[in-house]
C-alpha cells in the first residue's frame, strides 16, 4: 500500500503534477521538497496569487489539498526517508562547459538527488524519473543507488526499482493535460513497480491510455515527442518566410495541409519561434546522443530544427530594422509579451529574449509589457540592471486602479511616441487593442509587427498604421 509520495523539485513539473496527484488520490500524502527555500515559501503563501508558478486552475487545487495531503517543504531528507515512491523532478539544463557543452544535459542535480536517495531512503522505494532525461540516465541512477548498498550488511540494505514516467504537460494547460492526458508512459523492467504506478494513474486515467515500455524506450519517446513537435514548428516557420515573399498566406497554407489527417491541424501556428525549457534542450540532447553513437547525419538533421528556430528570431529583427528605415538608434519600440507563450509567467528560452537583445543592440529604446512576467525577470533575462520603462500588470494596477490593462497602458503613455509595436506573445488581451487610439499616440509612420497573427487586422489597417504580419507580409496603410 502506497502511503507517502515524495517529489524532489518544486518547479513547473513537480508542483502542478503533485498537486493533481494529491487531488486525485486523497488517501496518499504527497510531499513536494526543494532546496530553494524561497520557492517553497511561495508555494506555501496564503495569498494564492503568489504561488511561484502561474497555471490556470492550479490555485484552486492547491487550496483544496495543501495542508491536507499536499505539503511543500525543504525537508528533503525526512521526506525521502518516509517515501514509498520518490519522483525526481529537478532541473536538467544543457551543459554550459566541458564535454558536450551546449548540447548534453547537465545531470549534476539528478546525480545529487540519487545520492540523497541512496543515503536517506529506507526499505523498498520506487524511484521515478519525471524530469526529461537523456536516454540511459535510469542506468546512472540505478548504479548510484546500488553501489551505495553494496557496502552495507544485508539487514541494513535497502532496495530500489527505477521507472521512467515522463511528463508531457505543456505550460499554460498543465492542469488540463494532467487531468486528461493523451497517454501515460511508464518505462521499466519490474512488473510490480510498474503496477504500483499504473494503479495510481488508473484512479483517473483510463487503462488503454497507460502504456508500458522498457526504460530506454520511455526515455527516448519523451525526447522524440518534443523533437517532433519542435520540428513541426520549424517546418511551418520556414514556410512562413516563403509565404511573405511569394504572396501566399501562411494561415491558408496551414489550413490546407492541416486538413490532411496524416498531418493534422495542431501545432501549425506560426510565430517568432519555439521557446520553453524543453524543446531546444531535448533536441540538443538527441543531437548529442546521435553524435555519441556515430550517427552524424541523424544529429545534423535534428540540429537544423534548432538552427532554423534561432534564424527565424534574427530574421524578424532584420525585418523590423528594414521597415524602420534601416536604423533603430534611439527609436522607441513597444514590446507586447515576454513569456515564451501565453498563459504562463515562464520566460525560459522565450523568443522575446533574443529579439529584444537584438533590438537593444541596434540602439532601440524598449518599453516592454507582459501581463505575468515581472520587471525583475525581464531585466535578468536581458542582462541589464533594471527596466524602468517596463510596465507589467502589477505596476499598472498599483499606479492606478483601472482594471482594464489597455486603458492603463494608454494612460501611462506606454504608446507615447513609439515608432513601432511588436507583438511577441499571443496573450488574448493583445487581440483586442484599440489601434485607432494607439495610432494617435505613436510617431508617424508607426508600425505594428504581429509575430503571432493575433492582432485585429481591420483595426490596425483602419487606424492608418503600417502593418506587418508573420507569414503574410506587409499591408500598406490607407
Least distance CB 60 / ligand ADP (angstroms): 20
Phi, psi of 114 (to 5 degrees): -60, -40
Q: Which residues of 16-45 are buried (b: 16+ CB within 10 A; e: fewer)?
A: bbbbbbbbbbeebbbbbbbeeeebbebbee
Buried/exposed 149-187: b ≥16 CB within 10 Å, e otherwise = eeeeeeeeebebbbbbbbbbbebbbbbebbeebeebbbb
Q: Which stretch binds ligand UDX (CB under 6 A): 42-50, 146-154, 202-210, 262-270?
A: 262-270
Decide if residue 10 touches ligand ADP (CB under 6 A).
yes
Alpha helices (H) along 83-205: 108-120, 137-150, 174-179, 191-202
What cell does 96 get?
A: 554550459
State the binding partner of 267 from ligand ADP, ligand UDX, none, CB within 5 to 8 A by kind: ligand UDX
* Least distance to ligand UDX, CB of residue 240, Å: 10
Binding mask 233-252 for ligand UDX (x = CB under 6 A): x-------------------
Applying CB under 6 A, what is the total number of residues that bind ligand UDX?
19
For residues 184-203, which are near ligand ADP according to CB under 6 A? none
SS3 content of the chain, % helix, strand, coil (to 5): 45, 15, 40
Number of residues near ligand ADP (by CB under 6 A)? 21
Binding mask 347-366 for ligand UDX (x = CB under 6 A): --------------------
Is 354 a binding residue for ligand ADP by CB under 6 A? The answer is no
Residues 6+ apart with CB under 8 A from 150: none
The active-site residue, picked from 65, 278, 390, 466, is: 278
11 is a site residue for ligand ADP (CB under 6 A): yes
Query: What are the Cα distances from residue 314, in Å, to 55, 136, 311, 319, 455?
Result: 30, 35, 5, 9, 21
Active site residue 322: no
Beta-strand relationship, 365-370 and 466-469: unpaired
Among 19, 237, 277, 408, binds ligand ADP (CB under 6 A): 277
Residue 281 as a binder of ligand UDX (CB under 6 A): the answer is no
Is the Cβ–Cβ distance between 28 and 4 less than 8 Å? yes
Nearer to ligand UDX, 160 or 279 (CB): 279
Across 338-419, the runs of DSSP E, i.e. the strands, are 365-370, 391-392
Q: Pick one of ligand UDX, ligand ADP, none as the site partner of residue 90 (Cβ within 5 to 8 A by kind).
A: ligand ADP
Judged by phi (left if over 0) then psi (alpha if -120 to 50, else beta), residue 9 lies in left
CA 65 to chain centre: 25
Binding mask 318-347 for ligand UDX (x = CB under 6 A): ----------------------xx------
* Positions 410 through 429 that interact with ligand UDX (CB under 6 A): none
- The residue at minimum Cβ distance from ligand UDX is 276
CA dist 52 → 33, 44, 47, 55, 372 (Å): 14, 10, 11, 10, 11
φ, ψ of residue 457 to 5 degrees: the values are -55, -50
The interface partner of residue 269, options being ligand UDX, ligand ADP, none and the CB cut-off 5 to 8 Å by kind, is: ligand UDX
> 327 contacts which partner out of ligand ADP, ligand UDX, none, CB within 5 to 8 A by kind?
none
- Does 350 help bind ligand ADP (rule: CB under 6 A)? no
> Any catalytic annotation for residue 222?
yes
User: In this complex, which beta carbon is closest to ligand ADP, that of residue 276 or of residue 446?
Assistant: 276
Catalytic annotation, pick one of 103, 222, 281, 459: 222
The CB density around residue 249, as the number of other CB atoms within 10 Å, is 17
CB-closest chain residue to ligand ADP:
11
Q: Is 14 in the site for ligand ADP (CB under 6 A)?
A: yes
Residue 7 annotated as catalytic: no
DSSP string, 338-349: -SSSTT----TT
In the range 23-42, which residues lie near ligand ADP by CB under 6 A? Answer: 33-36, 39
Among 226, 285, 451, 463, binds ligand UDX (CB under 6 A): 226
The 3-class secondary structure across 58-118, one letter per residue, is HHHHHHHHECCCEEEECCHHHHHHHCCEEEECCCCCECCCCCCCCCCECCHHHHHHHHHHH
Q: Residues 143-172 vs ligand UDX: string with x where CB under 6 A?
A: ------------------------xxxxx-
Residue with grid cell 539487514, as numbered in its chain: 155
- Is the CB of 172 or the CB of 446 nearer to ligand UDX? 172
Reference 39, options 96, 107, 114, 91; nearest CA is 91
Going by C-alpha positions, the residue among 284, 126, 266 that lies closest to residue 196 is 126
x-marked contacts with ligand ADP along 205-224 as a string, rule CB under 6 A: --------------------
> 31 vs 439, which CB is nearer to ligand ADP?
31
Which residues are at the interface with ligand ADP (CB under 6 A)? 8-14, 33-36, 39, 76, 89-91, 109, 112-113, 131, 277
Instruction: Give the catalytic positions in this structure.
Output: 167, 222, 278
Which residues are at the interface with ligand UDX (CB under 6 A)? 167-171, 226, 229, 233, 267-269, 271, 274-276, 278-279, 340-341
Amino acid at each position: 500500500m502506497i502511503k507517502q509520495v515524495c517529489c524532489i523539485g518544486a518547479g513547473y513539473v513537480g508542483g502542478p503534477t503533485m498537486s493533481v496527484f494529491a487531488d486525485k488520490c486523497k488517501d496518499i500524502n504527497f510531499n513536494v521538497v526543494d532546496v530553494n527555500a524561497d520557492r517553497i515559501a511561495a508555494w506555501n503563501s496564503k495569498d494564492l496569487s503568489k504561488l511561484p508558478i502561474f497555471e490556470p486552475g492550479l490555485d484552486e487545487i492547491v487550496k483544496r489539498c495543501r495542508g491536507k495531503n499536499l505539503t511543500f517543504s525543504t525537508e528533503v531528507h525526512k521526506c525521502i526517508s518516509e517515501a514509498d515512491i520518490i519522483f525526481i523532478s529537478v532541473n536538467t539544463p544543457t551543459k554550459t562547459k566541458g564535454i558536450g557543452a551546449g548540447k548534453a544535459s547537465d545531470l549534476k542535480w539528478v546525480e545529487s538527488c540519487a545520492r540523497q536517495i541512496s543515503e536517506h531512503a529506507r526499505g523498498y522505494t520506487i524511484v521515478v524519473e519525471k524530469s526529461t532525461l537523456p536516454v540511459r540516465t535510469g542506468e546512472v541512477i540505478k548504479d548510484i543507488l546500488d553501489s551505495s548498498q553494496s557496502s552495507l550488511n544485508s539487514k541494513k540494505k535497502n532496495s530500489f526499482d527505477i521507472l521512467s514516467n515522463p511528463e508531457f504537460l505543456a505550460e499554460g494547460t498543465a492542469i488540463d493535460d494532467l487531468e486528461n492526458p493523451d497517454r501515460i508512459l511508464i518505462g521499466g523492467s519490474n512488473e510490480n513497480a510498474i503496477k504500483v504506478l499504473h494503479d495510481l494513474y488508473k484512479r483517473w486515467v483510463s487503462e488503454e491510455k497507460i502504456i508500458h515500455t522498457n526504460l530506454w524506450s520511455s526515455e527516448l519517446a519523451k525526447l522524440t515527442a518534443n523533437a517532433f513537435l519542435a520540428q513541426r514548428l520549424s517546418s511551418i516557420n520556414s514556410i512562413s518566410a516563403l509565404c511573405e515573399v511569394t504572396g501566399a498566406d501562411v494561415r491558408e497554407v496551414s489550413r490546407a495541409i492541416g486538413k490532411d489527417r496524416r498531418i493534422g491541424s495542431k501545432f501549425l501556428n506560426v510565430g517568432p519561434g519555439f521557446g520553453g525549457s524543453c524543446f531546444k534542450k531535448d533536441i540538443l540532447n538527441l543531437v548529442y546522443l546521435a553524435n555519441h553513437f556515430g550517427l552524424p547525419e541523424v544529429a545534423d538533421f535534428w540540429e537544423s530544427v534548432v538552427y532554423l528556430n534561432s534564424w527565424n528570431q534574427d530574421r524578424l529583427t532584420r525585418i523590423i530594422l528594414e521597415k524602420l528605415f534601416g536604423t533603430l538608434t534611439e527609436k522607441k519600440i513597444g514590446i507586447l509579451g515576454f513569456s515564451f507563450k501565453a498563459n504562463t509567467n515562464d520566460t525560459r528560452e522565450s523568443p522575446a529574449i533574443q529579439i529584444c537583445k537584438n533590438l537593444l543592440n541596434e540602439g532601440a529604446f524598449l518599453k516592454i509589457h507582459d501581463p505575468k512576467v515581472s520587471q525583475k525577470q525581464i531585466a535578468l533575462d536581458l542582462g541589464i540592471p533594471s527596466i524602468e520603462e517596463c510596465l507589467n500588470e502589477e505596476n499598472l494596477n498599483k499606479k492606478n486602479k483601472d482594471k482594464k490593462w489597455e486603458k492603463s497602458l494608454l494612460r501611462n503613455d506606454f504608446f507615447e511616441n513609439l515608432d513601432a509595436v511588436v507583438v511577441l506573445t499571443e496573450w488574448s488581451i493583445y487581440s483586442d487593442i484599440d489601434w485607432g487610439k494607439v495610432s494617435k499616440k505613436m510617431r508617424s509612420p508607426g508600425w505594428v509587427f504581429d509575430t503571432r497573427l493575433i492582432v485585429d487586422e481591420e483595426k490596425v489597417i483602419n487606424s492608418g498604421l503600417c502593418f506587418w504580419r508573420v507569414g503574410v507580409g506587409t499591408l500598406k496603410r490607407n
